Amino acid sequence: MAEPPTRTAPIFLVGCQRSGTTMVRLVLDSHSRISCGPETRFLPDLRRIVGRDWERLARFGFPREDWLRRIRDFFGGVHADYAAARGKTRWADKTPLYAMSLDFVTEVFPDAQIVHLIRDGRDVVVSHRKRFGYWSAVKCVVKWPRYIRAARAVGATLPPDRYYELRYEQAVTEPEKTMRGLFEFLGEPWEDGILDYDSKQHDVAQKYTTEAAKRRAAASLTEPIYGSRVGTHRRELDPFLRLLVWVFSGPTLRALGYR
């Protein structure tokens, strides 16, 4: 039987910050074909070229499609060269912020596959407080549903083979089953040991690995993927934040089936 065609489409991993995107990024980067390097964050800045600066730049005489191609060649070229230097043939970009500009991302890369990681917004608020402070948690009750709505709105316009929602809770409680589903969506073969990402080399900021190591040690865990942070809101969300979540995040939580 002939081998299935190899996919080369770029992968974009998005989701509200503190939703587990770093964990999934490391799993992707552990695949022999996929390179998922450091966050880029600057792609929305290039939107100015075909956005608010377009009237001026159009005077060069190049059509908008040509500018989009130049953006695609530049941005994609950085990732492709980085992947090739690591012996990889396909690239992925993990930048949570791109959840807010997926319409532009998919315009620049019309074949891109989008992976949207979703986590219980109440636990995301708790994680924001622990990582960034109380005021960040307060703002998160509005930010989390905004990220969810923005990404899902674009996802609804894409075919099933272009947009995939991955639940954090399933990823950490049934990692192999969940990640097998992810790689099936991506059209990539499953590889043994892919979940043991901490045994592989990644270009990731030390703060992420240090933080994860501290959490595992506190919970007396050895596995790189663990579910001990699921449902932390039940014991760590104070009454004021709980009220804010109910008012601002409640409709989105219910729409996603979180109870």
pLDDT at 25: 95
Q: Please answer whether residues 13 and 117 qualify as being in contact, where contact means their C-beta atoms are separated by less than 8 angstroms.
A: yes
Per-residue pLDDT of the chain (259 residues; tens, 9 = 90+): 444 456 789 999 999 999 999 999 999 999 999 999 999 999 999 999 999 999 999 999 999 999 999 999 999 999 999 999 999 999 999 999 999 999 999 999 999 999 999 999 999 999 999 999 999 999 999 999 999 999 999 999 999 999 999 999 999 999 999 999 999 999 999 999 899 988 888 887 666 666 666 666 666 666 788 888 899 999 999 999 999 999 999 999 999 999 9
Report the top-level CATH class of 11-256. alpha beta
Question: Other C-beta atoms within 10 Å of 134: how many?
Answer: 13
Q: What are the residue boundaries of the structural domains of the chain, listed by start?
A: 11-256
